[in-house]
Amino acid sequence: MKEVPRNFFMQDVCSVAKKLLGCAFVRELSDGSRLAGRIVETEAYAHSNDPASHSRSGKTPRNAVMFGPPGHLYVYFTYGMHYCCNVVTGAEGRGEAILLRALEPLSGIALMAVKRYGKKDMNAREVRDLSRGPARLCRAFGIGREQNGADLCSGEFRILQADPAAEIQIGCSSRIGIREGCSHPWRFYIQNNPWVSGPARNVQA
């Protein structure tokens, strides 16, 4: 698999959210170990006219990375406990990003288990929940405040292009966990993939 180029992130935020499905999200730790997961669920957050987006009221210290150049990680802390990880898209200054909601573990699974549960061995439920959900995948990948602003085209984090031969069926629904902006069907997921969080609601391409 090949890395996606910088201009991949310059496209419309919903287009990128769909194209990210099937791509691999990779972190190479400084000690040489490698964590990888297949992206199976995303949500798009637009720059304007989107009351659910963190960028809705302009730039703040927390969301500054969203307004920066595309292809970087926007990591935020929420509910007093959890981190969530986004990919910045669109031209600098727009404030668009895609929330990574779920990954299918590919490699470094034992290391993810240690980061998330503090142990190597998992029961069936722990395996299922390893990276199914935005805050869970952050824990499995060791993503926190320090990773906010990390570049996806250099350094520890990379996104590898999806295998074009692997045909996937994309479903979409309204976004999860928000009260406003529910009318936008901007949650995208790979249909019938067991690693997708939550129910498959309004199924359509």
Partner DNA sequence: CGTGAGATTTCCT
Partner DNA sequence: GGAAATCTCACGT
Q: Residue 35 pairs with which residues in a beta bridge? A: 27
b or e along 104-136 (b: 16 or more beta carbons within 10 Å of the residue's beta carbon)? bbbebbebbbebbbeeeebeeeeeebbbbbbbb
Choose between 108 and 133: whose C-beta lies nearer to DNA: 133
10 Å CB burial of residue 28 (0-12, 13-18, 19+) is middle
Choose between 7 and 123: whose C-beta lies nearer to DNA: 123
Choose between 84 and 190: whose C-beta lies nearer to DNA: 84
Each residue 111-130 as x (binds DNA by CB under 7 A) or -, in order, gives -----x--------x--xx-
Stretch that binds DNA, among 14-22, 51-59, 103-111, 159-167 (CB under 7 A): 51-59
Each residue 66-95 as x (binds DNA by CB under 7 A) or -, in order, gives x-------x-xxxxxxx-x-x---------
Q: How many residues does the chain have?
A: 205
Stretch that binds DNA, among 1-9, 49-57, 106-114, 166-174 (CB under 7 A): 49-57
Query: Rounded to the nearest whole angstrom, what is the least distance from the CB of residue 134 to DNA in the complex?
Result: 5
Q: Which residues bind DNA (CB under 7 A)?
A: 43, 45, 52-55, 57-58, 60-63, 66, 74, 76-82, 84, 86, 97, 99, 116, 125, 128-129, 133-136, 139, 175-180, 197
